[in-house]
Amino acid sequence: MFWLDRLVEERIREAQEAGAFRSLTGEGRPLPPDDGGPSEVWAAYRILKKNGLLPDWLQLRKEIYAERALVRQAWDEYWRAVEECDRNDPGHIAILHRLAWRYRELARAINKKIDLHNLRCPSLGHELIRFPEDMIEREWHRRGESPP
């Protein structure tokens, strides 16, 4: 690869002599510190970061972190309704069924994103845990009760 290094150096020197690097932003100042150390993909990550772009799995991760609050909120809303519920009132039971359905749908939607994230992320250490879609039923079972 020595010939390639020489070719690159020669092209850089020719561009410098032609003035291609004059009046660039930050000319004459040291490069700002970088988060990552040297690696094969350093330049690519630096360009992505500078332009506010992320690999698709990291973009999915940001969306998942933002949306999981909605799933937790649906969970809390269901259990608040259980505490206020009159099990003899069909209207209250219908509300509980609707809230349970809402939790399952939100969990299902975020799990699709989690599955896609886990397929695209570079290692097992970056994978995210899915939300159990049947968590309400599991909680009722754990309590030794049946859902209304």
Residues 7-48 have pLDDT tens digits of 888 888 888 888 887 887 777 788 766 666 666 677 777 777
Contact assessment for residue 117 and residue 64, using Cβ atoms and an 8 Å cutoff = yes
E strands, the chain, are none
Residue corresponding to tokens 């937790």: 72
pTM of this prediction?
0.65
Q: Is 128 left (phi over 0), alpha (psi -120 to 50) or beta?
A: beta
3-state helix, strand, coil in the chain (%, to 5): 65, 0, 35
pLDDT at res. 56: 86
Q: What is the pLDDT of residues 67-108, one digit of tens each?
A: 999 999 999 999 999 999 888 899 999 999 999 999 999 999
Distance from C-alpha of 38 to C-alpha of 35, rounded to nearest angstrom: 10
Contact assessment for residue 131 and residue 111, using Cβ atoms and an 8 Å cutoff = yes
Distance from C-alpha of 86 to C-alpha of 93, rounded to nearest angstrom: 8
Contact assessment for residue 61 and residue 117, using Cβ atoms and an 8 Å cutoff = yes
Confidence label for 63 from pLDDT (cuts 50, 70 and 90): very high
